[in-house]
Chains A and B, each alone.
Chain A
Amino acid sequence: MAIEMTSTAPIIRSLPWGKGAVVAVLAVASLIGPYVLDPYLVNVLIRSFFYASVALTVDLLWGYTGILTFGQSTFFGIGAYAAALVFTHVGFDPGMVWLALVGGVAVAVAVAGLVGWLAFYYGASPLYIAVVTLVLPIVATQLVLSGGTFTGSSSGLVGFTVIDLGIEAWFSIAAGGLLVLTVATWIFVNSEMGRLLVAIRDNEQRCQYLGISSSRVKTYLMMATAAVAAMAGFGYANFTMVVAPEMTGFVFGTELVIWVALGGRGTLIGPVVGTILLDVVSAYLSGSMPFVWKLAIGSVFVGVILFLPNGLVPMVGNFIRGGLRRVGMWWPEAVAVADITPMAHGIEGAQAYTDAPALDISHLEKRFGSLTVLEDINLVTRPGELVSLVGPNGAGKTTLIRCLSDGFERTSGSVIINGNTLDRQPPYDCVAFGVGRKFQAANVFDSLTVAECLRLARNRHEPLSAIRRSRVLNLPEPAVRVIRTTGLDKIMGTEARHLSHGMKQALELSMVLALEPSILMLDEPTAGLTKAERHLIGDILVDLAKHDAFCILLVEHDLDFVRQISTRVVVLHHGRIVLDGSVADVVGSELVQQVYAGSGKFGERK
């Protein structure tokens, strides 16, 4: 069956005329600026523009993606030293300019890849990531210092031949470059990939369970930002004809973070305006009162982190917008709402009835230190089965789900998912094998709209674009059913944080269904839901198992619910499967009554 694909709109075409006009004015300003401004200010501004370019990369990493980095200075320094070293030791000609630029960017990208490998492994803590980005500039500075006459050690390199351009040209290059970078970043952060960055910041775990390797995304992002920072460094070295070890260092790295924080992380205008303003003011004040100026910056920085975590520029922006709105000169942009296109279901073929096991678990065991949580679990489930996992608290139900959806979790034993042997593999590989997992607490992306959440869930079927945002969602039929019956389709433009508890649960379920899994793992999907919502979820699950041949694994406390919908019940007790049978087997079982409700005489020992 054909899937309807409608056009997607490039973001650039939707650039509002107001923003376009601003860009045009700034472009003109970058050309005429040096002729009308004070020469000292022009000099300072050129430096500020280069710094602002690097600050934008810090903002992408930290403000948008949540990676606190002290190391962007190193990539800036690599670009600068590439120019200085090549022009000093090899010589200067146009070919060498390209060699230095390409070489500097290549080294920066390679280093960024190494940093990514070190810092972004599956399970790394945010603190560890910050540590690696802290070690990077320290190592870089020490290497420069130990380079003797080659790197100029602590005094740096000066007096090398550089690209011979007038100050006006440098101003236009730096300003134009910053402008292009800002527009490009604006397009990127508003694209589907840009929303993915925010999703990683909000909830990296959910990204993993949507089949996204967030480690890879973060590493690529780091490499791209390293390239940009290296280019800025290259330009800066050519402009100033000086490089010094401080350029690569940790203090400059923290300074970048301070500019971004003061300007406003997670916005584009904030870091750019913040960096330029602070650097220019600092150029004028730090000569006359260096210590007081640094003291003021430090104090304001602490205050902003404490009281204005979104920074100063957004606050000023809101103030101006508020004023304009009061006099009727400003109105918010309409939120673009996506249309839903249901796809014919059953097209993947994998959902056809087969008797091959969906899950084949043998001798699975999970220990925490000396504590054994799961012991000798053997279980085979097939498509079309709705298997409920029940048992008292602490029986190991959620742990079992975790071991089946993340290859690093179990201590020993084998898991075969749809014929694929699960090795020590992260959750996104389990998703590729056909696993869709819904968590107990609703696990969605708070800052994203309903439509954006669903779009990200489609990433494996329709790659995310770095320059566009799709206006149409192609979703498999079961997901559409959940969306339509719960009314999510009427609030596609609402941010997930504003949804009710039940709606969040429904959204997460439809995100999981949008993955087109063949095995569905659900951890207490009805917890905290109303009776009507419970019924709805139950009907949908029965339908998915019966008609779409899903294999469903359900962890559930509500035994009435279990009885109504299951085709099979597995009872866990103390980490072991004590009963595996039909609903009738379990309901009539004396053993279950005992493990579950603790009835019977407690004096009797069986």
Chain B
Amino acid sequence: MTDAAKAPALSVRGVSGGYGAAIVVKNVDLTVPEGRIVAVLGKNGMGKTTLLKMIMGFLPLHQGEVHLFGKRINGEPPYLIARRNIAFCPQEQPLFQDLTVGENLRLGLFDDDAFEAKLEKVGVHFPFLPDRLRQRAGTLSGGEQKMLIVARSLMASPRIMLIDEITEGLQPSVIERLAHVLAEQRRAEGTAILLIEQHVTFALAIADEYAVLNQGEFVDRGPANAADAAERINRHLSI
């Protein structure tokens, strides 16, 4: 029995699985300690998103276990996992386009009472949000939508965040802002973050560790501040 206090925020042990008979993720191990940021990099189609869907309970595991803060969660329905101090920013259809900004933010919380206080906190990071609560989320620009996704997941003050390719298609200035917000969140609240990325510079700028996923297996990992980290990752990512 692991001591819950010392248990990592997220621990993935020997996990395999995929869609139906197709095995996309093969015997993967991954640990995100409390308060740390781990970046998983890899080209498209290498199983990154699949791994997240398995952690969140949307896809069944063929093998292995997933533990969150020392508690085994695989087999639980997604909505129960989502209530375990975890915030998930999916890459596909991450927002309710036809709901307002305010409603999207509200859905980041489980009860409405704390809304004003949390909005104030999130508004520090993204000052445009409190002014535009009544706007439909689908009418925000691409960058604003990404910021709304992050803002929504910060509403509940999660202890761990799973973020899937948040930088995809973003302007450098927005990426810089998001990097700042995530680093600040970790510093202020000790939030652990699992970052799924293709943007090497962004990932290495805020992560403590990196791991490269190729054909559903981790082929390289190490500290993000290693001198050769970018070079090693790019070897796997390059065309």
Report if A and B touch in the complex (beta carbons < 8 A).
Answer: yes
Given A501-B20, A559-B239: A394 and B202 interface contact (C-beta under 8 Å) = no
The CA-CA distance from A501 to B198 in the complex, in Å, is 27
Q: Answer yes or no: B43 CB below 8 A from chain A CBs.
A: yes
A370 contacts B139, C-beta separation under 8 Å? yes
Given A500-B21, A527-B45, A602-B176: A392 and B239 interface contact (C-beta under 8 Å) = no
Q: Answer yes or no: A287 CB below 8 A from chain B CBs.
A: no
A603 contacts B171, C-beta separation under 8 Å? no
- Main SS at interface, chain B: mixed
A392 contacts B198, C-beta separation under 8 Å? yes
Binds B, one of A63-71, A210-218, A591-599: A591-599
A599 contacts B23, C-beta separation under 8 Å? no
The CA-CA distance from A559 to B199 in the complex, in Å, is 17
A586 contacts B21, C-beta separation under 8 Å? no
Q: What is the distance, in angstroms, from B138's C-beta to the closest C-beta of chain A?
A: 7
A587 contacts B45, C-beta separation under 8 Å? no
The CA-CA distance from A586 to B239 in the complex, in Å, is 8
Given A592-B239, A602-B175: A558 and B43 interface contact (C-beta under 8 Å) = yes
Chain B residues contacting A602 (CB-CB under 8 Å) are 167, 172, 175-176, 179, 199, 201-202, 205
Q: Answer yes or no: B116 CB below 8 A from chain A CBs.
A: no
Select one of A394, A528, A574, A603 contacting B172, CB under 8 A.
A603
Select one of A527, A563, A601, A604 contacting B239, CB under 8 A.
A563
B91 contacts A599, C-beta separation under 8 Å? no
- In chain B, positions 15-32 with a C-beta closer than 8 Å to chain A are 18-24
Select one of B22, B91, B139, B167 contacting A598, CB under 8 A.
B167
Q: Can you list, as one digit per residue, whether each of B144-183 has a CB less than 8 Å from chain A (1) or not (0)?
A: 0000000000000000000001011101110110010000
A598 contacts B202, C-beta separation under 8 Å? yes
Interface centre among B45, B138, B139 (most CB of A within 10 A): B45
The CA-CA distance from A231 to B231 in the complex, in Å, is 78
Q: What is the distance, in angstroms, from A424's C-beta to the closest C-beta of chain B?
A: 27
Q: Which residue of A lies closest to B23 (CB)?
A: A528
B168 contacts A557, C-beta separation under 8 Å? no
Select one of A528, A593, A596 contacting B24, CB under 8 A.
A528
Q: Can you list, as one digit per residue, whether each of B210-239 has a CB less than 8 Å from chain A (1) or not (0)?
A: 000000000000000000001000100111
The CA-CA distance from A500 to B18 in the complex, in Å, is 13
The tally of residues in B whose CB lies under 8 Å from a CB in A reads 36
B45 contacts A558, C-beta separation under 8 Å? yes
Q: Answer yes or no: B63 CB below 8 A from chain A CBs.
A: no
Select one of B24, B138, B176, B234 contacting A603, CB under 8 A.
B176
Q: Answer yes or no: B107 CB below 8 A from chain A CBs.
A: no
Q: What is the distance, in angstroms, from A50's C-beta to the closest C-beta of chain B?
A: 45
Q: What is the distance, in angstroms, from A37's C-beta to the closest C-beta of chain B?
A: 53
Q: Can you list, as one digit per residue, whether each of A245-279 has a CB less than 8 Å from chain B (1) or not (0)?
A: 00000000000000000000000000000000000
Q: What is the distance, in angstroms, from A400's C-beta to the closest C-beta of chain B?
A: 16
Q: Which residue of B lies closest to A527 (CB)?
A: B45
Q: What is the distance, in angstroms, from A389's C-beta to the closest C-beta of chain B?
A: 12
- Main SS at interface, chain A: loop
Q: What is the distance, in angstroms, from B222's C-beta to the closest C-beta of chain A?
A: 17
Give the total number of A-B pairs whose CB atoms are below 8 A apart: 85
- In chain A, positions 436-459 with a C-beta closer than 8 Å to chain B are 441
Given A394-B168, A557-B43, A563-B239: A596 and B21 interface contact (C-beta under 8 Å) = no
Q: Answer yes or no: B200 CB below 8 A from chain A CBs.
A: yes
Chain A residues contacting B43 (CB-CB under 8 Å) are 557-559, 597
Q: Which residue of B lies closest to A587 (CB)?
A: B239
Q: Answer yes or no: A605 CB below 8 A from chain B CBs.
A: yes
Select one of A370, A528, A557, A563 contacting B18, CB under 8 A.
A528
The CA-CA distance from A231 to B117 in the complex, in Å, is 74
The CA-CA distance from A600 to B201 in the complex, in Å, is 7
Q: Which residue of A lies closest to B203 (CB)?
A: A598
Q: Can you list, as one digit per residue, whether each of B78-116 has a CB less than 8 Å from chain A (1) or not (0)?
A: 000000000000010000000000000000000000000
Chain B residues contacting A392 (CB-CB under 8 Å) are 44, 168-169, 198
Q: Answer yes or no: A393 CB below 8 A from chain B CBs.
A: yes
Select one of B23, B172, B205, B238 contacting A597, CB under 8 A.
B238
Q: Which residue of B lies closest to A369 (CB)?
A: B138
Q: What is the distance, in angstroms, from B114's C-beta to the closest C-beta of chain A?
A: 33
- In chain A, positions 349-395 with a C-beta closer than 8 Å to chain B are 369-370, 390, 392-394
Q: Can you list, as one digit per residue, whether each of A303-342 has a CB less than 8 Å from chain B (1) or not (0)?
A: 0000000000000000000000000000000000000000
Chain B residues contacting A500 (CB-CB under 8 Å) are 21
A605 contacts B200, C-beta separation under 8 Å? no
B23 contacts A604, C-beta separation under 8 Å? no
- In chain B, positions 118-156 with a C-beta closer than 8 Å to chain A are 138-139
Chain B residues contacting A528 (CB-CB under 8 Å) are 18-19, 22-24
Q: Which residue of A lies closest to B20 (CB)?
A: A501
The CA-CA distance from A441 to B169 in the complex, in Å, is 25
22 contacts between A and B (CB under 8 A): A369-B138, A392-B169, A392-B198, A393-B44, A441-B19, A527-B22, A527-B45, A557-B46, A559-B43, A592-B239, A593-B239, A597-B234, A597-B237, A598-B200, A602-B167, A602-B176, A602-B179, A602-B199, A602-B205, A603-B172, A603-B176, A605-B173
